[in-house]
Chains A and B, each alone.
Chain A
């Protein structure tokens, strides 16, 4: 796929790519800039475009960590994200295996469910979901947020995983079963190790979605002790005098885990999108 290009052509492509990337990355640059330059230098009509050498500090980070419960928010986000990502991955590995290996009626139904669940406005679902959890006394419970996010990701991740299982030849588990493995044993010992890229893609997808969730966390978590980091950040925006440096610092801190996860697993993701969602 890599076509051979002449040398000047390649360098001009690089120049173009750098120009485009600079424009697209500007919001992140500006967040970093805002978080390390004191507000009084930025709240002027002509803010500096590069950090002034004499006035760069990490005080926004230290003051945010001491003034607002960022660590608590991050912890809540971590609990719901890890919970939802692990449950989604397990459930959709089983579901994807089932859809790939057995042609049940469920298969077509799941195809519909994927699209149909995208059609349900989250703001509509959240009303009865709120009622449902109120019924079980689970409002202000991180499990509720975890479960709702799991449900929001599972239709898509199941489909994603089916694509990965399709790529594993049936003969492999048949051989394992002839060698005395049970069906579940064959799935666990032979198929799952081959599904690592799929598991990585599913885990990343579910994590990014749950970590970024605002609607469910905001509605199901009235009590500030249970706020996830997105709800905490949104609570900043509405205020009259916004502490922009602090807000950007929290924003950047909250991005970090997902960015690291994303950079580690990005190669799997590109693959996953083709096998899973597009080639169906």
Chain B
């Protein structure tokens, strides 16, 4: 990431070192740090410091009774030992992956399809576009509430519609049955996340000159070939980045699973994020929860590193 040459600099290096220029240079850099300092202060105080405390917490043994005086507890790797040897960890990781892929892949497919559709000129497009983007503005908990009602075992409209069409014979208790619960928490999450893909991919597509499609059509390219040779190259990098950013977000998502199932039934929807919360605020195993959080972060980091060079190109 650091090997890439710097983009063209807005700050030309001082060619002569007259005192006046040096002073000006110093004033510039003071201003640069001054304007950046609120950002750094907020990120430092409310992310770096809690992260430091979390690491400290994860390394403390014994029953943690006083969170403000952690030094009373001995330093140890026991929490990590507990977490890493727990056979449940693998299941939690698998569930987190299933949830993440189950959300990101369909959300991306819907987002790409809609972006391609909305990039075409047809009457009513101006009304349709904000409508399909709307779920993004709906709070996750409201989405959860709507879907928990629609998926209700006795009176849910989803059961009614599926019965009418003949896909199911009798009602399914989507959120209560451990075979369907994961699907039932994935569905609302897709609904909330697909607009983000539409937003990004549509913006990318709008920068593609229409002549490219004209030319492709003149050459007799089928819609499929047009997609492969014009559309896809235009959105490929943005897609990779959007998938990674959304993927990391979904991997630690809390707002959908927790209100819908709390991680149940029978841990069927217990992802790492939910497990961390339950360890901390249900069982008050703060040390274990913190260690689990650090492990989750490490997994995210590893996935990110594996996610390839697209991201590095963007942020290098």
Using a CB–CB distance below 8 Å, which chain A residues touch chain B?
1-5, 10-11, 13-14, 16-18, 20-21, 24-25, 27-28, 30-31, 34, 42-47, 49, 87, 90-92, 94-95, 97-104, 106, 108, 110-115, 117-132, 134-135, 147-148, 150-151, 154-155, 158, 170, 183-184, 187, 208, 211-212, 214-215, 219, 229-231, 233-234, 236-238, 242, 244, 247-248, 251, 254-255, 258-259, 261-263, 266, 269-271, 273-274, 277-278, 280
Given A20-B114, A27-B146: A103 in contact with B123 (beta carbons within 8 A)? no
- Write out, one digit per residue, whether chain B residues 1-44 have a CB within 8 A of any chain A CB (1) or not (0): 11000100111000000000000000011011101101110110
Q: A270 — which chain B residues lie within 8 A by C-beta?
A: 199, 202-203, 206
A213 to B121, CA, bound (A): 36
B residues less than 8 Å from A49 (CB atoms): 157
Q: Bound complex: CA of A233 vs CA of B147, how far in Å? A: 13
> Chain B 280-308 against A: per-residue CB contact (8 Å), 1 yes, 0 no?
11000010011011101100110010000
> Given the interface contacts A121-B252, A122-B254, does A3 sit within 8 Å of B204 by beta carbon?
no
Known contacts: A124-B294, A258-B138. The answer to whether A47 contacts B155 by CB under 8 A is yes
B137 in the interface (beta carbon within 8 A): yes
**Chain B residue with the shortest CB-CB distance to A232:** B141
Q: A20-B114, A24-B191, A103-B11 are in contact. List 9 more A-B contacts (CB 8 A).
A: A4-B121, A27-B146, A45-B155, A123-B274, A127-B293, A262-B136, A263-B130, A274-B203, A278-B242
B203 contacts which of A108, A117, A261, A278 (Cβ < 8 Å)? Answer: A278
Known: A31-B146, A277-B200. A121 touches B124 (CB 8 A): no
* A124 and B155 contacting across the interface, CB-CB below 8 Å: no
**Contact at B36–A94, with CB atoms within 8 Å?**
yes
Minimum Cβ distance to chain B for residue A43 (Å)? 5
Name B239's closest neighbour in chain A (CB-CB). A278
Category for how many chain B residues contact A? 35 or more
A/B pair count, beta carbons within 8 Å: 342
Chain A, Cβ-Cβ closest to B152: A244
Q: Given that A94-B39, A113-B43, A122-B252 are contacting pairs, would A102 and B29 also be in contact in the complex, using a CB cutoff of 8 Å?
A: yes
State whether A27 touches B150 (Cβ < 8 A).
yes
Query: A214-B140, A258-B137 are contacts. A247–B145 as well, Cβ < 8 Å?
Result: yes
Docked CA distance A266–B126 (Å): 11
> Is the pair B141, A214 in contact by a Cβ cutoff of 8 Å?
yes
Q: Judge if B47 is at the interface, Cβ distance under 8 Å.
A: yes
Residues of A within 8 A of B50 (CB): 125, 127-129, 132
Report B-chain residues with C-beta under 8 Å of the C-beta of A278.
200, 203-204, 237-238, 241-242, 314
Q: Are B149 and A247 within 8 A (Cβ)?
A: yes
Please tell me if B89 contacts chain A, counting CB pairs below 8 Å. Answer: no
A129 touches B252 (CB 8 A): no
B264 proximity list for chain A (CB < 8 A): none
From 248 to 288 in chain B, residues with beta carbon under 8 angstroms from any chain A beta carbon are 248-249, 252, 254-255, 258-260, 272-274, 276-277, 280-281, 286
Give bound CA distance, A1 to B50, whole Å: 47
Q: Which residues from chain B contact A259 at a C-beta distance below 8 Å?
A: 134, 137-138
Q: Is the CB of A91 within 8 A of B39?
A: yes
Closest chain-A Cβ to B146's Cβ sits at a distance in Å of 5
Asked if B68 and A100 sit within 8 Å, CB to CB, the answer is no
Could you say which of B118, B119, B121, B137 contacts A208, with CB atoms under 8 Å apart?
B137
Contact assessment for A118 and B146 in the assembled complex, using a CB-CB cutoff below 8 Å: no
Please determine whether A17 and B124 come into contact, CB atoms closer than 8 angstroms. yes
Q: Does B133 contact A (CB under 8 A)?
A: yes
C-alpha gap A170/B12 in the complex (Å): 12
Please give the distance in Å from A230's CB to the nearest CB on chain B: 4
Known: A43-B155, A134-B68, A278-B204. A5 touches B120 (CB 8 A): yes
State in angstroms the CA–CA spacing of A143 and B137 once bound together: 23
How far is B37's CA from A95's CA once the two chains are assembled, in angstroms? 8
Which listed residue (A101, A155, A236) contacts B145, Cβ 8 A?
A236
What's the minimum C-beta distance from B66 to chain A, rounded to whole angstroms? 10
Contact of A219 among B1, B124, B281 (CB under 8 A): B281
B39, B254, B290: residue with the most chain A Cβ atoms closer than 10 Å:
B39
Flag whether B213 is at the interface (Cβ < 8 A).
yes
Q: How far, in Å, is A54 (CB) from chain B's closest CB?
A: 20
In the bound complex, residues from chain A placing their C-beta under 8 Å from that of B210 are 1-3
Which residues of the other chain, B, contact A269 by a CB distance below 8 angstroms? 199
Docked pose: A254 CA to B292 CA in angstroms = 34
**How far is it, in angstroms, between the C-alpha of A42 and the C-alpha of B155 when the chains are bound?**
7
Are the CB atoms of B40 and A13 closer together than 8 Å? Answer: no
- In the A-B complex, the 6 residue pairs with the smallest Cβ-Cβ separation, listed nearest first, are A124-B293, A151-B46, A102-B32, A128-B53, A95-B39, A212-B139
Q: Quick check: B36 and A45 within 8 Å, CB to CB?
A: no
Q: With a CB–CB cut-off of 8 A, which chain B residues contact A121?
A: 252, 272-273, 276, 293, 296-297
Question: Do B155 and A154 have beta carbons less than 8 Å apart?
Answer: no
Whether A147 contacts B276 by the Cβ 8 Å rule is: no
Partner of B297, one of A42, A119, A184: A119
The distance in angstroms between the C-alpha atoms of A158 and B54, with both chains bound, is: 25
A37 to chain B, nearest CB (A): 12
Are A118 and B51 in contact, CB atoms less than 8 angstroms apart?
A: no
- 8 Å CB contact of A154 from B43, B138, B171: B43
